[in-house]
Amino acid sequence: MNSPKRFPTVGDDSGLAQTDWLYKEELQLALRNKGMPLEALRYTITPTGLHYLLVHYDIPDIKPEEWRLKIDGLVSKPLTLSLEEIKKRPSQTIAVTMECAGNGRALFTPRRISQPWLVEAIGNSEWTGTPLSGILKEADVQRDASEIIFTGLDRGVEGDQVQSYQRSLSVREAIAGDVLLAYEMNGEPLQPQHGYPLRLLVPGWYGMTSVKWLDKIEAVAEPFEGYQMARAYRYAQSSDDPGEPVNLIRVRALMIPPGIPDFMTRTRLLQAGPTTLTGKAWAGRRSVSRVEVSVDSGSTWSEAQLGEPISSHDWRTWTFLWNARPGTTILCVRATDSEGNVQPFHQQWNFGGYGNNAIQCVTVVVE
Ligand SMILES: Nc1nc2c(c(=O)[nH]1)N[C@H]1C(S)=C(S)[C@@H](COP(=O)(O)O)O[C@H]1N2
Ligand SMILES: [Mo]
């Protein structure tokens, strides 16, 4: 036996589950966090209450009057800023599709015991904030800095380590013009669960990068090896495989399940005749070059029509006219990005259950 663990773990020693059963720990996470119901793919801008949510620990208790953002480390001019002072800086509003890196985790076998997403860890919001590059320029990041560490005010235990939620970006990634210190979501102050009063927003990267409840921004010389960089969010084959970092959002299309659902199975019931299938497609920092639909379980594919995105970082609507004939059919949709990456039927398995952009298929019974 290893040294006793301070916190109980579930599943086998690897933290992987083979069965179809959910562990209580997964249910507990799934009820605290939530996905976007797929019918909400009809909205270009996801109403705030329908955006997915992922909180590792607890939503921290923040006193707005006392809250300050600290910028320090390898900077010539350390800064301490109130929310009012941050709002006086130049502001920018951008529509950004966010997706959790764990989206699709529960579709892997075996699966990692963690937030058991199927495909719904997504949302598209208009975020308003001040460009991070401006604040870093003001603080005057020194030449010997290689990374910027972002620390949230939430704390918890993960992998037996007591920690604050922290992620880093290279200086080059951090000064990209579209990285925001965001204080508004869809024209309203951030809600507590989405990072009030201030969060990082990194378009095109999986959600873990967009640190909520920002407390501190620190410039450092060496690559940051915190838990959420070096241990979690790696494409790895086992718990001790260092793997590769998880970073950019992979190409994906999702469809609004047509017709009406069966309550238990969510199999769809639909009337025969012409039906418009629709949904959204996105590709992180790349763009979507095509969306295809299959009405025969993925045997043959036809091109869908693509709408325009409202920014270079948010999803596009796709539509496909289908003449539904009586019988049971499996509808599938897949997208291709500007670099030719196509969604696979089965994504390569990884230990943490990240980046599973496997093709979505929906079973439909046509009457
Ligand atoms: N401080 C902090 N920031 C965080 C998290 C967190 O638990 N704590 N979760 C991250 C993860 S994994 C995701 S997917 C996004 C989710 O953002 P949302 O809840 O606003 O959709 O926030 C990221 N930022
Ligand atoms: Mo996430």
Residue 2 predicted with pLDDT over 90: no
Ligand 2 center from residue 339 Cα (angstroms): 24
Among 189, 221, 245, residue at a domain's last position: 245
Across residues 287-310, what is the average pLDDT? 96
Angle at 101 between CA 184 and CA 192, to 5 degrees: 30
135-188: per-residue pLDDT in tens? 999 999 999 999 999 999 999 999 889 999 999 999 999 999 899 999 999 999
3-state secondary structure of 136: helix
Domain housing 302:
252-366
Confidence of residue 20 (pLDDT cuts 50, 70, 90): confident
Q: Are residues 298 and 326 in the same domain?
A: yes
Same structural domain for residues 45 and 165?
yes
**128/85 same-domain check:** yes
Domain of 274, CATH number, reads: 2.60.40.650
Average pLDDT, the chain: 95
- Name the residue of 117, 208, 246 to mutate for ligand 1: max ligand atoms within 8 A of Cβ: 208
**Beta bridge partners of residue 219, listed in sequence order:** 73, 148
pLDDT one-digit tens code per residue, 83-123: 999 999 999 999 999 999 999 999 999 999 999 999 999 99
Which conformational region is residue 153 in: left (phi greater than 0), alpha (psi within -120 to 50 degrees), or beta? alpha
Q: Are residues 229 and 264 in the same domain?
A: no
**pLDDT tens profile 67-76:** 999 999 999 9
Q: Are 322 and 295 in contact (CB under 8 A)?
A: yes
Give me ligand 2 centre to Cα 35, in Å. 11
Domain annotation covers residue 310: yes
Instruction: Give me the CATH number covering residue 127.
Output: 3.90.420.10
Is the CB of 165 inside a 6 Å radius of any atom of ligand 1? yes
Q: Counting ligands in written order, which one lies closest to the CA of residue 212?
A: 1
Beta bridge partners of 124: 97
Q: Can you say whether residue 11 is alpha, beta or left, with left for phi > 0 and alpha for psi between -120 and 50 degrees?
A: left
pLDDT at 309: 81
What residues have their beta carbon closer than 5 A to ion ligand 2? Answer: 54, 100, 207-208
Q: For residues 341 and 281, is the Cβ–Cβ distance under 8 A?
A: no
pLDDT tens digits, 299-344: 999 999 999 888 889 999 999 999 999 999 999 999 999 999 999 9
Domain count of the chain?
2
What's the rounded Cα separation, in Å, for the pair 82 and 74?
Answer: 21
Note the pTM of the prediction, 2 decimals: 0.96
Taking residue 275's Cβ as centre, other Cβ atoms within 10 Å add up to 18
131 and 215 together in one domain:
yes
Q: How confident is the model at residue 21 (pLDDT cuts 50, 70, 90)?
A: confident
Q: How far is the CA of 214 from the centre of ligand 2 (A)?
A: 16
User: Which one, of 123, 46, 38, 53, lies nearest residue 360 by Cα?
Assistant: 38
Q: Does ligand 1 come within 6 angstroms of the Cβ of 53?
A: yes
Domain boundary among 216, 245, 274: 245
Examine the pLDDT at 46 and tell me if it is beyond 90: yes
